[in-house]
Amino acid sequence: MPLIRPELTTDTAAIHALIAASFPTPGEAELVDRLREAGRLRVSLAAEEGGQIVGHIAISPVTTPSQATGAGLGPLAVAESHRRRGIGAALMGAGLDACRAAGLGWAVVLGDPAYYARFGFRPAGEFGLHDEHGWGRAFQALELLPGGLPTEGGLVRYAPEFDSLS
């Protein structure tokens, strides 16, 4: 299993290349660059194996109308040659632990419900949370700390850098 560690300033080019290769367009890689430049990467973890970056998870702040701040997970990327080896799960686990350590009480993610359910995520609508894009069941939430979910629910807003992906 690779080493999971915080990203280093020397990792940025490798992380950009990894994310760009993992998605159909370079939009997600550019998003992570913009979040980093804006100081909005709350957690940025790299999976390193043999001196190479083989995985990455980015976590940035999300808010509700009451200004409850949570964690927006993603993008999550693993090099194609290293998939199906548990690296994505290790990055998710370490990322969620880092969010808890930072005092973030809740997290949201957009992705395959079957994959993210293994980490405890459930459709965000079950908690009264919704997104502005109509992602439905793919938009999921998780309580990280007891009582951490916003009780009023509402619209979850990602960092403004996400607007370029729309």
pLDDT of res. 68: 82
Q: Which CATH number is 85's domain given? A: 3.40.630.30
Q: Which helix (H) or strand (E) holds 49?
A: strand 43-49
Average pLDDT taken over every residue of the chain: 95
In the numeric block, the tokens 């949201």 are attached to 108
99 Cβ neighbours under 8 A, 6+ residues apart: 42, 43, 59, 71, 107, 144
| The pLDDT of residue 163 is above 90 | no
Number of domains making up the chain: 1
This prediction's pTM: 0.93
- Compute the distance between CA of residue 27 and CA of residue 20 in angstroms, rounded to an integer: 8
pLDDT of residue 36: 97
Over residues 46-70, mean pLDDT: 95
Nearest residue to 16 (alpha-carbon basis) of 40, 39, 35, 2: 35
pLDDT over threshold 90, residue 67: no
Per residue in 83-92, pLDDT (tens digit) is 999 999 999 9
d(CA 152, CA 159): 20
Q: Which domain holds residue 25?
A: 3-165
